[in-house]
A and B are shown apart, each in its own frame.
Chain A
Amino acid sequence: MRNVGKRGAGALALAAVLLLSGCTYESGEKRFVLEAADSAATELKPAAEAGQLLKAAIEKGETDPDAQKFWYKGHVKNTVLSRTTTIMFEGAVIKPDGYNVDARIARQPYQYYRIGDKRYVRVKDAWMTAKEDPLPFDVLHGFEDLIPLMDRAVLAKESDEIYGVDCAAYQVKMTATEWVAASKSPLFGPLRDQLAGRPDMQQILDNGTVKITLWIGKEDQLIHQYETWIILPFPGGGYMDQQVLFSFYKYNDPGIQIKDPAEVEKYLLY
């Protein structure tokens, strides 16, 4: 009993000394963690089937009655120097009606509501009628442009759970120049014009890296996650990292409801 008392007092004294005196932060393992992780990574297998799978997933997403409503979550995380700016999106899609969005742009939260031809924005406590010309309601728009790029895809993960669904992850890595050159997206049209005669901008793209990863459900053959990393030289800022990540989950969840426009209109400020 006496020894226990002594030990207790000793532990208490040690704790008190540690607590009240300065302490030393000992070094962790002296190795470059990323280098170790990189050397441990195995070479990824080419996935010739990726293009076909994506094509089928788009088709199914557009036509399968069980894939017409789902929840989604997304963000764009931008890091340059030590500053990170994130935008977030979250909500539900019900096709062909519309969607709702809980969003945040640079720390400014808002909601966007779009059902049929009704479009409202909520800022702080006020719902307002959206004024800009709308873009077509087509959540899967743009995925078709990835199909030709899938020729160079590798199988990044044979099995990866996205919100409880077993998926295979297919990945394409290229320079930003290759992405712009290979893409048929009309969104890159003005960009190509902008690049003409601009060696400085062309150099940015030449030194930029793009990594696109798609998670396709093994069983349901639907798109469950879509991630793009864009890494570009940044004038006066080293390199910028940008992660664009969207997840689709709980396809055909009976709990998905978007309130009736009348519910919003009751509180419409203007």
Chain B
Amino acid sequence: MRQIFKLQTLCWALYAIALFLIYHLLVKPAFLDGSWIALAVFIPVLALAYFIPRPAERRQVVTFTLGFLLLDRALTRLETDSLLAMLFGAAVAILVVAALAAWYGKLAGNAVLALVLVAVLANFTFNRDNLAVLNHFYVKWESERLYHGEWVDYFPITLYDVDGDGKQEIVTYGNKDELPEEEESKKPETEAERKALADKLLPLKEEPVYLYVFTWKDGHMVRVPNDRISADTMAKLQEQMPADFPGFPYYTAMDGRLVPNVQRQSYAEGMLQVGTAPYRALQLDLQNIDRLLAAKQGRMDERTGFGPQSNFRDLLITSGQISGTYDGKPFSAPTTATKLLGTMRLPDGREGLLAQGEQLSVYAVQPDGSLAEAYTLTTKQVSLANSEFIPADIDHDNTDELLVAGTPSYILEPKADGGWQILWASAEGDESFRFSNFAMVGHDTEPEIIAKAKSWVSSNPLRYVSGFRYTPDGLEQLWRVYLPLLNIQVGDVDGDKENEIIATSYDTHRLLVLKQHDLPVLPMVILLFAGLLGYGIARRFRHA
């Protein structure tokens, strides 16, 4: 028993597994969240851990610990473009760490074997994104990269029950099945090859993009081929997709393609006539807007409705008028709005219609059937161009508050007098916090606020997805995953009547489905850590 670390491969392997779990599920999140506080806590703990092994065993334990963590990290960072490069990189990392462990740490062969084996298995047997979410979730599915183009950083995502089976399908854009990944061009030798390569490189090119629909079938997520989706459903899906204008105004989406509106040389020359730069910018903006209006027959925006609970139907903004029906009765009113956002429940029980233009307007139908602005938010209150608005009954009083995702972000409660009360505001200097959704996750019985938030100590602006509950004292954090996700959607995509989180990461074009679990992972890892330290202390003093 005294020589357990030296004698038993299994014990070394268990120690490596414990290290792996403690590092990824406890230490790393603590540093990401707690910054210098984590450092203040862990320095004494590390010092204690250093002195726990008996002096005769210390070098072995420390070398094993550092060697394992180093190899785990090295294998995570391998070049994955080609299998050969990956295998070569892995072999070099394994040989270097194993040699150091054997030579400097004087570790026996079985210990080195355990070190290498656990590091390799930890890197090649499961989706490593699990480590960033495992405290509350696991990765149920992760797609391949769905976009093989050059420049789009992300596409919108929506959830929609395409086949009417009660579960939702994931809908986004991509082109990986239609556009093969570009292979590295071989060095051109002849004049003709050089010309061909120049013709390929010089212009900004159009790119095809397609609607991608994924459905959960027989325990797997599969793409629904577009030719199996009816034209009617396709039209509905297009309406459901969040409005988005990637590359605006330099690219326009038309007929399933992203078409460039400028070219490198002429645009650089135009902008370098600097006095004309804003003139050219306005020209390009209006050229795009004209094209958009033409595609929509002059309509700014239109929606058939906002779900079965809403009384607003057949909504249209055109020629400075907003029109539609409420409870089957038609209405029309002048507006500067250009976008229909949704509806919210107002304090007097009416349903408000949100529309965004030079200000955010909440319209309500008056007793005489006319439509009037009940609430407004102006650009002097919030920056409208880059804010998002999410109606949410955060205090369960049957009146919706408005989550304003901007800088700063706000929770606004509509007051009976037509004004807003600020229930909560993010800190003025916090450019990271942003509301993403309001929905039930997992087997929640009440919806929760889902937002992106940075560490509450560190100044690093990297933000992680978190669940919050509103309380009068602030937003109480319920969970956090250490992935910087965006386009966060919540819905039941696997048909088990519990909602999953569906999102993507910036510039990865991979969809992630996160499923909530009930395991108390963090307490278990803390116990494991305490147990490991306790075992070490007991061993040290028992044999002192």
Contacts and interface: CB of A to CB of B under 8 A. Distances in A.
Contacts of A84: 386
Contacts of A154: none
B197 A140 contact: no
B153 interface: yes
Given A79-B386, A235-B300, A136 B273 contact: yes
Interface stretch (A45-53, A156-164, A193-201, A251-259): A193-201
B212 to A, nearest CB: 19
A121 B202 CA distance: 7
A138 B198 contact: no
B249 interface: yes
Contacts of A187: 276, 279-280, 283
A83 interface: yes
Interface stretch (B67-75, B109-117, B345-353, B374-382): B374-382
A43 B333 CA distance: 35
A146 B274 CA distance: 12
Given A25-B453, A112-B265, A233-B336, A194 B290 contact: yes
Contacts of B433: 25
Contacts of B142: none
Interface string A20-51: 10111111111111110010000000000000
Nearest to A244: B278
Contacts of B279: 142, 145, 183, 185, 187-188
A233 B300 CA distance: 9
A122 to B, nearest CB: 9
A226 to B, nearest CB: 6
B534 interface: no
A108 B273 contact: no
A142 B339 contact: no
Nearest to B195: A270
Interface string B237-248: 000000111111
A65 interface: no
Interface string A58-86: 00000000000000101010111111110
A146 B320 CA distance: 31
A235 B299 contact: yes
B386 A235 contact: no
Nearest to A129: B198
A194 B198 CA distance: 36
Contacts of A238: 338-339, 356-357, 384-385
Interface in B266-304: 266-283, 285-286, 289-290, 292-293, 296, 298-301
A210 B301 CA distance: 24
A34 B379 contact: yes
Contacts of B426: 25, 28
B358 A207 contact: yes
B100 to A, nearest CB: 32
Interface in B210-258: 243-251
A135 B244 CA distance: 33
Most chain A CB within 10 A, of B244, B263, B273, B380, is at B273
Given A126-B197, A140-B274, A235 B338 contact: yes
A241 B244 CA distance: 15
B522 interface: yes
B249 A78 contact: yes
A165 interface: no
B375 to A, nearest CB: 14
Interface of B, secondary structure class, is: mixed
A16 B39 CA distance: 11
Contacts of B522: 20
B456 A25 contact: yes
Contacts of B290: 194, 201
A28 B477 CA distance: 16
A119 B479 CA distance: 56
Interface string B473-493: 111111100000000000000
Nearest to B281: A244
Nearest to B276: A142
A110 B264 contact: yes
A135 B263 CA distance: 13
Given A200-B293, A230-B285, A238-B357, A22 B34 contact: no
B32 to A, nearest CB: 11
A101 interface: yes
A203 B479 CA distance: 47
Interface string B517-544: 0000010001000000000000000000
Contacts of A167: none
Nearest to A108: B151
A135 B358 contact: no
B102 interface: no
Contact of A230 (B282, B299, B477): B282
Most chain A CB within 10 A, of B263, B269, B474, is at B269
Contacts of B33: 19
Given A27-B474, A89-B271, A238-B356, A132 B265 contact: yes
Given A78-B249, A85-B246, A233-B336, A33 B408 contact: yes
A107 B147 CA distance: 15
A108 B150 contact: yes
A239 B243 CA distance: 13
Nearest to A12: B41
Contacts of A110: 264
B422 A30 contact: yes
A138 B275 CA distance: 9
Contact of B38 (A19, A32, A123, A244): A19
Contacts of B244: 81, 83
B471 interface: yes
B30 interface: yes
Interface in A185-228: 185, 187-188, 190-191, 194, 199-201, 203-205, 207, 210, 212, 226, 228
A233 B526 CA distance: 54
A132 B301 CA distance: 38
Contacts of B275: 140-146, 226
Contacts of A121: 202, 264-265
B495 interface: no
B40 interface: yes
Nearest to A37: B380
Contacts of B151: 106-108
A171 interface: no
A6 interface: no
Contact of B30 (A19, A35, A103, A190): A19
B285 to A, nearest CB: 6
Given A85-B250, A124-B201, A204-B289, 14 more contacts: A20-B526, A27-B422, A30-B422, A31-B422, A93-B272, A99-B272, A112-B269, A132-B265, A134-B265, A185-B276, A200-B319, A233-B338, A241-B386, A244-B278
5 contacts: A139-B272, A143-B274, A207-B358, A230-B282, A237-B245
Task: List the 8 closest pairs (A to B, CB-CB), nearest first.
Answer: A142-B275, A142-B276, A143-B275, A228-B278, A270-B198, A238-B356, A26-B474, A241-B385
